[in-house]
């Protein structure tokens, strides 16, 4: 039998059973794509990551992301969970308290900033340069799928935002509405399939005084009815907010997510601009909740 150490890490959290869980296999040499997909399906979390030696110049490691149904080019909370695991295992121990690592992903080599903070380092990942385009979905269709009135949506357009992984983004006017949506997963899945991406909703308001935004993310067609705390979704929201000059032009803030499903998490969002182009950074902390061993037959 072959054995692989596996951890389940709650990202965007500082205590167990909060934030968003991801499974991490920090030494994945010997696993092929088909087996990694089967492992992700077995673990059945929104994402499972596999770490390999880097093959691109300047990269510290190569990370691959799998949902239960497919491989992704990039993902947010699994990046935080994976680097938390690598730090916990002693990698980069000689780099001091503040440094940057570079992860090889499906969209290139991207930096992640590390600020050590006791048992819960603060990790800030840079995502890919963003693209925005108007969606096919109408306000009326989206509102019906969410179980809200079209007038509850912000006047800004529904857009497809891509930061290495794409999300359909739209805003809701108030905290009460986003918190109590009676959404139809079948209708959301049909929108997801047509648009080719999951759906992240946000409101420019929050319950916690340190937060400025509440977000919720849905990808039911990919087996994720509601993603507890979504790094890529929050990165796309940050781009949308910057592009439409919401939050009085604020380019850095904290988002809260997961409250409605008992997985309270916090995401720091920062938007960089260069030459009229936007790039998001998202980050937070993480905590390991489960450690174990994955056993596979030699032929797997």
User: pLDDT tens across 138-179, in order?
Assistant: 999 999 999 999 999 999 999 999 999 999 999 999 999 999
DSSP-derived letter for residue 140 is H
Name 209's Cβ contacts closer than 8 Å, sequence gap at least 6.
none
CA-CA distance, 75 to 79, in Å (whole number)?
A: 6
Averaged pLDDT of the chain? 96
From 112, 120, 35, 41, select the one nearest 74 (Cα to Cα).
112
Residue 300: the pLDDT is: 62
Residue 118: the pLDDT is: 77
Read off the pLDDT band of 119 (50, 70, 90).
confident
Residue 223: the pLDDT is: 85
Pick the catalytic residue from 3, 15, 27, 47. 47
From 232, 214, 237, select the one nearest 222 (Cα to Cα).
232
- Quick check: is 47 catalytic? yes
CA-CA distance, 146 to 192, in Å (whole number)?
A: 13
Residue 193: both structure tokens together = 């399939």
212-258 residue pLDDT tens:
999 999 999 988 899 999 999 999 999 999 999 999 999 999 999 99
């Amino acid at each position: 039998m072959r054995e692989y150490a596996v951890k389940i890490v709650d990202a965007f959290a500082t205590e167990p059973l909060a934030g968003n869980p991801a499974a991490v296999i920090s030494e994945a040499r010997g696993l092929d794509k088909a087996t990694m997909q089967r492992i992700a399906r077995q673990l059945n979390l929104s994402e499972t990551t596999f770490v390999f030696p880097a093959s691109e110049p300047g990269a510290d490691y190569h990370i691959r992301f799998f949902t239960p149904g497919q491989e992704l080019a990039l993902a947010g909370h699994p990046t935080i969970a994976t680097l938390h695991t690598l730090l916990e295992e002693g990698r980069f121990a000689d780099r001091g308290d503040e440094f940057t690592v570079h992860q090889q992903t499906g969209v290139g080599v991207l930096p992640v900033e590390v600020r050590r903070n006791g048992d819960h380092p603060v990790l800030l990942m840079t995502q890919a340069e963003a693209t925005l385009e108007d969606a096919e979905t109408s306000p009326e269709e989206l509102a019906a799928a969410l179980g809200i009135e079209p007038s509850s949506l912000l006047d800004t357009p529904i857009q497809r935002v891509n930061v290495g992984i794409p999300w359909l983004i739209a805003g809701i006017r108030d905290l009460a509405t986003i918190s109590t949506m009676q959404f139809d997963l079948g209708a959301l899945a049909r929108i997801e399939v047509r648009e080719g991406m999951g759906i992240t909703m946000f409101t420019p308001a929050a319950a916690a005084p340190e937060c400025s935004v509440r977000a919720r993310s849905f990808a039911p067609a990919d087996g994720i009815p509601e993603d507890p705390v979504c790094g890529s979704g929050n990165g796309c929201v940050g781009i949308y907010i910057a592009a439409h000059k919401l939050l009085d032009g604020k380019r850095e803030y904290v988002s809260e997510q997961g409250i409605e499903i008992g997985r309270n998490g916090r995401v720091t969002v920062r938007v960089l601009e260069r030459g009229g182009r936007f790039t998001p950074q998202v980050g937070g902390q993480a905590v390991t909740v489960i450690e174990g061993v994955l056993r596979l037959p030699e032929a797997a």
